[in-house]
Amino acid sequence: MAGESRIGVTGLAVMGANLARNIARHGIPVAVHNRSPAKTEELVREFGHEGPMTGTTTVEEFVAALERPRRLVMMVKAGPPVDAVAEELAAHLEPGDILIDGGNSHFQDTRRRVEHYRERDLRFIGTGISGGEEGALNGPSIMPGGEREAYAEIADIFETIAAHVDGLPCCTYVGPDGAGHYVKMVHNGIEYADIQLIVEAYDLLRHGVGLEVPDIAQIFGEWNTGDLDSFLIEITAKVLGKTDAETGKPLVDVIVDQAEQKGTGRWTAQDALELGVPLTAITEAVFARSLSALLEERAAAAQTLAGPAPEGGAREDRSLVDDVQRALYASKVVAYAQGFAQMSAASGQYDWSLDLGAMARIWRGGCIIRARFLGRITDAYEEDPNLTNLLMVPYFRDAVAEAQDAWRRVVSHAVARGIAVPAFTSALAYYDGYRRERGPASLIQGLRDYFGAHTYRRVDKPGSFHTRWAQDGTEAQTDA
């Protein structure tokens, strides 16, 4: 027998509980369930008054509480728990019911699950949900992938509970099978790059310019009123502006400088390697976190390895502040250009037909990388859906052209002063490599042909060629 709740949420940790509250607050009847029932009881006791919420204890009760086709959102830890929960639910479902994985699953797992449940006449939606607990409660950015017909059954609920910007929901159908989780993965990768660029700008302002933390907080606040206007710049001003009550120091000075990561940035970089997409900014951001994690090794190296010490350098050389702002913006444009190029390559590889302008649109609200800047990306793809690289769009092209002198000064200054800025530097190297019609890779091909007879192509005639390096040094065409 079917119940009356329009949707169910199982997995009531931070994300699931807040998502269920968001649904109920919109007047949409929601059934809630968790492996350990205490979480369900607590949620219903504390927040059940906010809207129509039905607590259930067993999987049977949970499934029975839902109208048909049943819509079941799983908000459990990514990996084996998703398979365990999906299998447990599937045993009680009927053809046409819809399993929805709202966690940060790997897109290849989602592709496998979509196929597996299709064979069992069930529908599987893998959806990215961004914005952390605050987003889940007040309106996240939602990136659903799977069968379009299945999405149609949940669209009204998802588009109601999502964040809205300019009257539009930050939720749209992304594409088949793993497309939603892929786009969420790249979103997280871009978040890594954005954060790394901000951190490098902070380091430069502090040790390259010589400013104190409260002054830097104020500068980020000012930057947030211009082109850099974004959630991450806004909260950087807040974090830097926070004083530790115990010591009276800036809080950032008493936090251990060892960054953690859960894996979505690494997955993005790994898939870029698989696809052969140059994704330098995100990848450097992942490596920078890995380097930061080597706390003890760094402490030993600081006593041993030669080089300028960033601390105690220039004092109050404010001429660099505007340069750092420009370098940050130019590097950010590159990071996004790379992330969107990766999604474009994945769209072709996996046959997803991603609408990249729509992806930028649904990231304008509810998620961690929400920013004014994203509107420009949507405009660019609306104007040219086949755009190959955002750097070629007049707005971004001109912004980077205007910033590039400052960008080069900042990178030179950082290198001379021993301040590591891997994302700024690699973004600039990508820019210079991308705008170079003829680079040095011909030598790579020559070397490969020398040691491995891998052949090369010539600029002046078609075909593959091999030089008999060790014999008589003559050239032979190999595909004639």
Binding-site member from 31, 66, 73, 85 for ligand NBP (CB under 6 A): 85
* Residue 11 in the binding site for ligand NBP (CB under 6 A): yes
Q: In what order do the strands lie in the sheet with 98-101?
A: 53-55, 30-33, 7-10, 71-74, 98-101, 123-130, 141-145
Tell me how far CA of residue 244 lies from CA of 233, 258, 272, in angstroms.
21, 18, 40
Complex with ligand NBP: residue 20 or 219, whichever CB lies closer? 20
> With binding defined as CB under 6 A, does residue 40 bind ligand NBP?
no
Closer CB to ligand NBP, 55 or 422, in the complex: 55
| Nearer residue to ligand NBP within complex by CB, 146 or 422 | 146
Site membership for ligand NBP, residue 161 (CB under 6 A): no
Strands 7-10 and 71-74: what pairing?
parallel
The residue from 9, 12, 114, 211 that contacts ligand NBP (CB under 6 A) is: 12
Question: Which x/- pattern over 90-129 shows residues binding ligand NBP (rule: CB under 6 A)?
Answer: -------------xx------------------------x
- Based on the shown chain and the rule CB under 6 A, indicate whether residue 75 belongs to the binding site for ligand NBP: yes
Q: How far is the CB of 110 from ligand NBP (least distance, A)?
A: 12
Other Cβ atoms closer than 10 A to 2: 13
- Is 94 catalytic? The answer is no
* Residue with Cβ nearer ligand NBP (16 or 169): 16
Taking CB under 6 A as the criterion, the residue among 48, 51, 81, 176 binding ligand NBP is: 81
Out of 39, 147, 191, 212, which one is annotated catalytic? Answer: 191
**Closest-approach residue to ligand NBP (CB):** 103
Pick the closest to residue 179 from 140, 148, 133 (CA basis).
148
CB 368 within 8 A of CB 131: yes
Distance CA 144, CA 101 (A): 9
Measured from the CB atom, is 262 or 448 closer to ligand NBP? 262
The verdict on 288 binding ligand NBP (CB under 6 A) reads no
77 binding ligand NBP? (CB under 6 A): yes
Query: Which H, E and C letters describe 105-139, residue by residue?
Result: CCHHHHHHHHHHHHHCCCEEEEEEEECHHHHHHHC
Closest CB to ligand NBP among residues 103, 144: 103
Figure out which of the listed residues 76, 219, 286, 362 binds ligand NBP, where binding follows CB under 6 A: 76
**Mask for 129-158, x = binds ligand NBP (CB under 6 A):** x--xx-------------------------
Q: Which of 41, 134, 159, 184 is catalytic?
A: 184
184 is catalytic: yes
Q: Does 369 bind ligand NBP (CB under 6 A)?
A: no
Q: Which of residues 19-38 bind ligand NBP (CB under 6 A)?
A: 34-36
| Residue from 8, 16, 126, 250 binding ligand NBP (CB under 6 A) | 16
Q: Which is nearer to ligand NBP, 39 or 207 (CB)?
A: 39
Piece of 8-16, 44-52, 155-163, 211-219 that binds ligand NBP (CB under 6 A): 8-16
The stretch among 76-84, 315-323, 411-419, 423-431 that binds ligand NBP (CB under 6 A) is: 76-84
Of 78-86, 306-314, 318-326, 334-342: span binding ligand NBP (CB under 6 A) = 78-86
- Return residues touching ligand NBP (CB under 6 A): 11-16, 34-36, 39, 75-78, 81, 84-85, 103-104, 129, 132-133
The residues that are catalytic are 184, 191
